[in-house]
């Protein structure tokens, strides 16, 4: 009986212990399942975090590219701003120079206009005063005197070379200049002295031998001597002559020693004479129709 009771008690103890171990095994299995679920969740979170990290890396690369582009745009914009700033400074400097130049030109133009106006008014006042003070009378005509010719004895060479006679060339004197009295003044042209006629030598015949033509068998032209005037020389009107007595232009210079004793006759020596330029009193006796060039009549009348 004792053995049966001991067996039953041991059986009960074993059953209790089995139940306890079974409960413990069930609890352990439940804990393992929970742990597996947690591990699965953690793995999913890990994968999700990796995906988010890769996405973040991609976004970071994109932001870096955009940052580089933005920096390049900023540098380009800064370059454009610097260029525009330099252009603005240059434009302001040029505008300042142009304004200053325009101001100077306006001042010069004003001074020139004032000087022209003063000259015009002075000329008009002087012309009016001269018109009131002069007496109206027709301008006389002064004939031009012929040049005085003095013969010179021929030399031996000239006497020997007179085998071929040469007809003397005619010497033409300038015609007298006549001015029309009391005519309205327009833009006058400067007076021109008549050009001398050219001296033509006879052409040799083809069948005759060509011989030297003597050029020293003419007469020498004698002119009045004039002193070289100073730089500030001003011609005056002499009483009784009615004009300004001026010598020819070539008489204003000193004659060279070789020219004084040369007996050759040139075309310029045929027209040397003393010419009287009448003073244009008709300018003061007739009204000016077109005072566009007020100083032209006076200057053209005294031109040598």
3-state secondary structure of 144: coil
Is 62 domain-assigned?
A: yes
Is 202 domain-assigned?
A: no
pLDDT, tens digit, for every residue of 63-108?
Answer: 999 999 999 999 999 999 999 999 999 999 999 999 999 999 999 9
Both 30 and 153 in one domain: the answer is no
Is 2 domain-assigned?
A: no
pLDDT, tens digit, for every residue of 151-160?
Answer: 565 556 555 5
Question: What is the helix (H) or strand (E) element at residue 46, kind and residue range?
Answer: helix 2-133
Both 155 and 302 in one domain: the answer is yes
Both 286 and 144 in one domain: the answer is yes
Residue 177: predicted pLDDT: 42
Alpha-carbon distance values, 16 to 13, 76, 219, 294 (Å): 5, 88, 183, 153
Both 12 and 114 in one domain: the answer is yes
Alpha-carbon distance values, 214 to 210, 232, 291 (Å): 13, 44, 56
Mean pLDDT of 43-64: 94
Average pLDDT, the chain: 69
pLDDT, tens digit, for every residue of 200-258?
Answer: 444 444 445 566 555 554 455 555 555 666 677 777 776 666 666 666 666 665 555 44
Residue 150: predicted pLDDT: 61
Q: Which residue matches tokens 């454009």?
A: 80
Looking at the structure of the chain, the number of domains it has is: 2
Both 277 and 147 in one domain: the answer is yes
Both 143 and 129 in one domain: the answer is no
Question: Is the model's pLDDT at 171 over the cut of 70?
Answer: no
Is 170 domain-assigned?
A: no
Angle at 23 between CA 20 and CA 24, to 5 degrees: 85
Comparing C-alpha atoms, which of 258, 259, 298, 260 is closest to residue 280? Answer: 298
Q: pTM of the full predicted structure?
A: 0.29
Is 166 domain-assigned?
A: no
Q: Which residue matches tokens 């069930």?
A: 26
Question: What is the helix (H) or strand (E) element at residue 221, kind and residue range?
Answer: strand 220-221
Both 83 and 190 in one domain: the answer is no
Better-predicted residue by pLDDT, 8 or 95: 95
Both 30 and 60 in one domain: the answer is yes
Given pLDDT bands bounded at 50, 70 and 90, which one contains residue 118?
A: very high
Is 293 domain-assigned?
A: yes
Both 106 and 223 in one domain: the answer is no
Provide the 10 A C-beta neighbour count for residue 286: 15
Better-predicted residue by pLDDT, 168 or 110: 110
Both 126 and 145 in one domain: the answer is no
Both 76 and 187 in one domain: the answer is no
Sign of the CA dihedral 285, 301, 271, 246?
positive
Lowest model confidence (mean pLDDT) among 9-23, 35-49, 129-143, 273-287: 273-287
User: What is the residue-wise DSSP string for 80-123?
Assistant: HHHHHHHHHHHHHHHHHHHHHHHHHHHHHHHHHHHHHHHHHHHH
Is 87 domain-assigned?
A: yes
| Residues spanned by the domain of 58 | 7-133
**Assign residue 96 a region: left if phi > 0, alpha if psi is -120 to 50, beta otherwise?**
alpha
Is 124 domain-assigned?
A: yes
Provide the 10 A C-beta neighbour count for residue 289: 9
Better-predicted residue by pLDDT, 39 or 227: 39
Both 183 and 281 in one domain: the answer is yes
């Amino acid at each position: 009986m004792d053995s049966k009771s001991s067996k039953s008690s041991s059986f009960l103890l074993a059953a209790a212990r089995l139940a306890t171990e079974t409960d413990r095994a069930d609890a352990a299995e439940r804990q393992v399942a929970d742990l597996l679920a947690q591990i699965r969740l953690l793995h999913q979170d890990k994968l999700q975090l990796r995906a988010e990290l890769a996405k973040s890396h991609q976004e970071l690369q994109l932001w870096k590219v955009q940052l580089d582009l933005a920096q390049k745009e900023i540098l380009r914009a800064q370059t454009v701003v610097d260029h525009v700033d330099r252009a603005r400074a240059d434009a302001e400097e040029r505008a300042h120079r142009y304004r200053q130049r325009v101001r100077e030109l306006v001042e010069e133009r004003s001074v020139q206009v004032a000087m022209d106006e003063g000259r015009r008014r002075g000329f008009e006042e002087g012309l009016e005063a001269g018109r009131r003070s002069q007496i109206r009378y027709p301008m006389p005509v002064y004939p031009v005197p012929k040049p005085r010719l003095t013969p010179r004895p021929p030399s031996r060479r000239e006497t020997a070379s007179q085998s071929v006679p040469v007809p003397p060339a005619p010497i033409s004197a300038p015609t007298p200049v006549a001015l029309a009295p009391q005519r309205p003044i327009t833009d006058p042209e400067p007076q021109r002295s008549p050009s001398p006629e050219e001296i033509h030598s006879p052409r040799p015949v083809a069948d005759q031998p060509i011989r030297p033509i003597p050029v020293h068998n003419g007469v020498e032209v004698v002119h009045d001597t004039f002193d070289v005037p100073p730089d500030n020389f001003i011609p005056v009107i002499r009483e009784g002559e009615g004009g300004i007595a001026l010598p020819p232009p070539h008489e204003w210079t000193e004659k060279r020693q070789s020219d004084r004793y040369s007996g050759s006759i040139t075309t310029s020596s045929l027209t040397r004479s003393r010419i009287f330029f009448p003073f244009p009193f008709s300018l003061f006796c007739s009204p000016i129709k077109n005072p566009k060039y007020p100083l032209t009549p006076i200057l053209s009348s005294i031109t040598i």
